[in-house]
Amino acid sequence: MTGDGHGFFVFMVAIQDERRHRAFLAEAQLRHAWQFRQRGVAAESDPVEVNVPVGWHPVMKCLFTEVESLVPEAERGGFRWRRLVAAQGALEIRFDGVRDRIKPAVFRAREAAQVTCEACGRPGRLLLVAGSRRVSCDLHFLERLRYCDRAGEQAASNWWMSPHPGLGGRAPIVVLRTGAPPEILIDLALRRAMPDVPRLNGAHRQRLQQTWPVLREAFGERLRSLRLAEFDPASQRGGTLLALLAGEADAAAQAGVATALARAGFSDLRLRLVGEGDLHAPATATDPWSAMLALEASISIPRYQPAAPF
């Protein structure tokens, strides 16, 4: 497949997805008209915002059907969807009216979306790629990594088609088609998608060292090292702070520690926790992207040593 051929293919997929989305929306509005209408208001003047990837259409259909059976005729007048949108791998659902009746259905839909590939509807998980979160199956995770290939789309396509020494001389695409476990391909594709290792000057280093006490406070002896990735001062988009922890990375701690970091003046840093095991097998880590950043595309932040008192 040439680069142009691939570009055309992506374009066609985008058109097909757009068509499928419109068909999905038309069908939903036809079958469950009252869910998309506000009493006394023309639908066109204040349309419901619907932007859900095709892989989640079955989840949505299930939600609409459930709501149909949960809300009795008499209470339908006050109900309407407001916003059904995929945002960073989460299904956002907003609506007016009959809150308590449909809450469980909304909860179930969100839960189902969390484990459903946004592109194809097969089982997936929330995966980060270059700052964007989506629920993907292994195949579509690989697809996303290919778009982020550092060498560009053409080179990525060539790589997928060419024999690879690490794959017994077979091309990645051939290995993929044999149905072999995709970990080794994910590992290779992740490496190809990694951004440059950041360069730090003295001022950066000095400032970043101040993150040590904050994370030390949160994780104690479990904190093994701190690394910085995805940092380009010219872009002013901050950087990714990787905290390498002994044992498993504790996802529950993430939010609290991120808040502590922001309070200490580091709201420009995105905190990611990486466990020891993640480094041994990035492809199967909870967050493969960050695990690979820690291994291949980050720089160590030296430990903070307060000046000795006089």
Give the footprint of Zn ion on this chain (CB under 5 A).
117, 119-120, 122, 137, 140
Among candidate residues 90, 86, 92, 98, the one with its CA nearest the CA of residue 34: 98
For the record, the structure tokens of 133 come out as 């979160």
User: Mapped to the 3 state alphabet, what secondary structure does 198-217 carry?
Assistant: CCCCHHHHHHHHCHHHHHHH
We find the least distance from the C-beta atom of residue 54 to Zn ion, in angstroms, to be 10
Considering the complex, what minimum distance in angstroms separates the CB of residue 119 from Zn ion?
4
Beta bridge partners of 223: 245
Phi, psi of 42 (to 5 degrees): -65, 135
**For Zn ion, which is the closer residue by CB, 53 or 239?**
53
| Residue (12 or 155) nearer to Zn ion, CB | 12
| Closer of 119 and 241 to Zn ion (Cβ) | 119
d(CA 205, CA 202): 5
Shortest separation between residue 139's beta carbon and Zn ion, angstroms:
5
| CB of 118 vs Zn ion, minimal distance in Å | 8
Q: Which amino acid appears at position 12 of this protein?
A: M
At its nearest, how many Å lie between Zn ion and the CB of residue 142? 10
Q: Kindly tell me which of 134 and 222 has the beta carbon lying closer to Zn ion.
A: 134
- Of 120 and 126, the one with the shorter C-beta distance to Zn ion is 120
Q: What strands, in cross-sheet order, belong to the sheet with 80-87?
A: 49-51, 80-87, 90-96
Residue 149 · residue 188 · CB < 8 Å: no
Tally of CB atoms within 10 A around 34 = 15
